[in-house]
Each structure stands twice: as structure tokens, then as C-alpha cells.
Amino acid sequence: MNENVYSRIFSRRIVPLVSFDDVSQAIPLADALLAGGFDSVEVTFRTTAAAAAIAAIARERPQMLVGAGTVLTVANLEAAISAGAKFAVAPGFNPKIVAAAQARGLPFLPGVATPTEVEAALDAGLTSLKFFPAAPMGGVKFLSAIYAPYRHTGVKFLATGGVSASNLAEWLSCPAVGAVGGSWLASHDDLAAARWDAIAAKCAEAARIAASI
Ligand code: 3PG
């Protein structure tokens, strides 16, 4: 089950990331992502609407793989699980959250940005990791250098932070990158203005780029 979740994240290659101001945005956003060709989404716990939005998507659009992002506390993790999240992601590596996710059987991708953090994650039995913040840390060149000594472990990265249509092809061509995530597909402004067609169009463009790699 967990292996299926990881392989679904990596086989889709792109995980749209969204922060909801209001739960009423959840289903129109899910429909825009589906229309644009994506059936997974990371809903961040940066806003108080996160848990209700995850619950709405899990309930009303069960074909979507909905996960929780910016999971900074065990309380965030518990709220995500109760809401029906199928996976969780964090910007950093917090051993307490890793242990809680493993105890609950929830696929969890902690954030790493250094070899030491990669090794902490491997030591915890994790090989699916978020690389964050991907572009400011040094982009594909930096990640490729980190990947070299760990490639044989089977580690794969969900690269996020500064990914956009303009650098998507470069990221997806990098052997270390299982998938990328990012907020460029569903920006705060597009959500606030209910520009669902524009979001679907950005998704379709990204899906075309991913298919061309
Ligand atoms: C994350 O939490 O992964 C990042 O905030 C996403 O970064 P982006 O907004 O540059 O896509």
C-alpha cells in the first residue's frame, strides 16, 4: 500500500502544491487539477483550512491522491491522517514526525538538503525524500552531487522550492528526481480569483513538458 503511494507520486512526476485560504476552494481546485491531467495534490498546513480541504477532497474526489504538506508537528500529522491524507511531506527532517508517521503507517517524505540529512533519513528506513529548497540550494547541479554517493541506496527525491514551467524539463531530466512539486501550478492569486481554467491550463502545459522528457 505504502509502496504504491510512493510509486504513484513518482510515476506522476509532478505534485501540485496548494495552500487554501478557504475550504470552498478545495473541490474546484481538485477539478482544475484533474482537468489539467493531475490526480495528486499536496495541501499545506500553512493555513487553517488545510485539514478541512484534505477531508473534502478525500471524500468528494476519491480518485485523487491527496497528501498533507508543511507538516511541522505531530499534531499536524494527526490532523492530516484524520482528514484522510494518503501521504505527508515536510520541509525538514524531524525525527519525531518520522517516527509518528511510521507508527501510523503513513507514507512520509521529510525534507532534506544535505548529505547528513540524507543519511539520517536512510537510517530511519526512508528512501523517498523531499529535496528542499531545490532551486536556492543549488539546483540540479547540487542535487546531482548529493545523489552520487547515495544512488545505490535507491533514494529518490521530490524536488520542491523554485520549480516552475521554465525549469521543469531540467529537473525532470535529473536522475535523482523522482518527481517535482510546487506552487506555480495553483498560485495564491489564481486561487483567490477562482481562475480554475488558468490553473488547468498551467497543469496541461506542465503535463506536456513532463511527457516530452
Ligand atoms: C514547498 O513547501 O515545497 C515550497 O514552498 C514550494 O516551493 P514553491 O512555492 O517555490 O513552489
User: Mind listing the pLDDT tens digit for each residue in 183-207?
Assistant: 999 999 999 999 999 999 999 999 9
Of 17, 66, 62, 2, the closest CA to residue 40 belongs to 66
pLDDT band at 3 (very low <50, low <70, confident <90, very high): confident
Assess contact for 68 and 88: CB atoms under 8 A: yes
Residues in CB range of 99: below 8 A, 6 or more apart: 124
* Interval between CA 44 and ligand 1 midpoint (Å): 10
Residues in CB range of 17: below 8 A, 6 or more apart: 41, 42, 44, 69, 160, 181, 182, 183, 185, 186
Ligand 1: residue whose CA is nearest its atom 9: 183
List pocket residues of ligand 1, CB cut-off 6 Å. Answer: 17, 69-70, 91, 132, 160-163, 181-184
For the chain, domain boundaries: 2-212
User: Mind listing the pLDDT tens digit for each residue in 94-115?
Assistant: 999 999 999 999 999 999 999 9
Ligand 1: residue whose CA is nearest its atom 4: 161
**What does pLDDT average to over the chain?**
97
Report pLDDT for 2: 74
Q: Is 202 annotated in the active site? A: no
Buried b (16+ CB within 10 A) or exposed e, 83-108: bbbbbbbbbebbeebbebbeeeebbb
Cα–Cα distances (Å) from 169 to 5, 107, 134, 196, 209, in that order, read 23, 26, 14, 24, 6
* Interval between CA 8 and ligand 1 midpoint (Å): 20
Assess contact for 93 and 86: CB atoms under 8 A: no
Q: Is the pLDDT of residue 8 over 80?
A: yes
Assess contact for 9 and 128: CB atoms under 8 A: yes
Mean pLDDT of 30-51: 98
* Interval between CA 159 and ligand 1 midpoint (Å): 9
Q: Is residue 143 left, alpha or beta, with left meaning phi > 0 and alpha meaning psi from -120 to 50?
A: alpha
User: Mind listing the pLDDT tens digit for each residue in 119-138?
Assistant: 999 999 999 999 999 999 99
Name the residue of 168, 183, 184, 199 whose CB sits within 8 Å of the most ligand 1 atoms, as the mutation to test its pocket: 183
> CA–CA separation, 206 vs 36, rounded Å?
9
Shortest-distance atom of ligand 1 to CA 111: 3
Q: Is the pLDDT of residue 74 over 60?
A: yes
Of 42, 37, 76, the closest CA to residue 161 belongs to 42
State whether residue 17 is helix, strand or coil. strand
pLDDT band at 81 (very low <50, low <70, confident <90, very high): very high
> CA–CA separation, 213 vs 20, rounded Å?
31
Ligand 1: residue whose CA is nearest its atom 11: 182
Mean pLDDT of 64-69: 98
Question: CA end-to-end span of the chain, whole Å?
Answer: 28
Q: Is 130 annotated in the active site? A: yes
* Interval between CA 163 and ligand 1 midpoint (Å): 8
Name the residue of 43, 132, 158, 184 whose CB sits within 8 Å of the most ligand 1 atoms, as the mutation to test its pocket: 132
CATH number assigned to the domain covering 2-212: 3.20.20.70
Q: Kindly report the pTM of this predicted structure.
A: 0.96
Assess contact for 65 and 86: CB atoms under 8 A: yes
